[in-house]
Amino acid sequence: MLSTEWIIKGRTYPRTENMITLYQKNGIKVIACSYADDISLNVLPVTSCGKCKPKTIESSYLPKELYLGKTQQLFMEVCQEIDYAIVSDLYGLHFCNVKKVIYDIHPTLLTVSERIILAKKIKFQALEKNYTSILYYLPSPIRAFTYLDILLRTGLEIIYTSNLKKFKPII
């Protein structure tokens, strides 16, 4: 569980630098930039689900059809050549090749016990596919807090990046 030492009285929001420091203090490895073509086989790249979903209800959707937000679409485009998942508030990990039914759950509404259950589900799903580390991508370190809190509860190695690119530059 992430420490909430960053919470400031009043309505002041935490600074990005403070969030990065907080994540590192809690055992999250923070890297400035990650490249999809350089991710180890035991590392699963993930991003959060989003509220932008299809208006029509089909029987089920692949992640690229279900999560229509800009961040999610960019993530899936960058990771299209590798296995990836979306962290879902309902399903745990929604893997790229699996269809799921549409849902509407907001992560901030999850209780502590529901977060623990979700973390256990995520850990089981990751280990079942031989992933021992999770690379979590979200451009905003401040918005990443809720999902990093859930992921940290898995006990797996958690790596956070706010910058994900397709190819590592050739030097």
Domain at 35, CATH number: 3.40.50
pLDDT in tens, 160-170: 999 999 987 77
At residue 14, the pLDDT reads: 62
Confidence of residue 55 (pLDDT cuts 50, 70, 90): confident
Q: Which range marks the domain in which residue 71 is found?
A: 16-164
pLDDT (0 to 100) of residue 40: 92
DSSP-assigned letters across all residues of 69-102? SHHHHHHHHHTTTS--EEEETTTEEEETT--B--
Query: Given pLDDT bands bounded at 50, 70 and 90, which one contains residue 54?
Result: confident
The answer to whether residue 32 sits within a structural domain is: yes
pLDDT tens digit string along 128-156?
999 999 999 999 988 898 999 999 999 99
Q: Would the pTM of this model clear 0.85, i.e. be above it?
A: yes
Give the count of domains, the chain: 1
pLDDT for res 29: 95
pLDDT score for 4: 46
Q: Is residue 151 within 8 Å of 87, Cβ to Cβ?
A: yes
Which pLDDT score, from 0 to 100, does residue 79 have?
Answer: 95
In a domain, 52, yes or no: yes
User: CA quadruple 158, 164, 170, 171: dihedral positive or negative?
Assistant: negative
For the stretch 81-102, pLDDT in tens is 999 999 999 999 999 999 999 8
2 in a domain, yes or no?
Answer: no
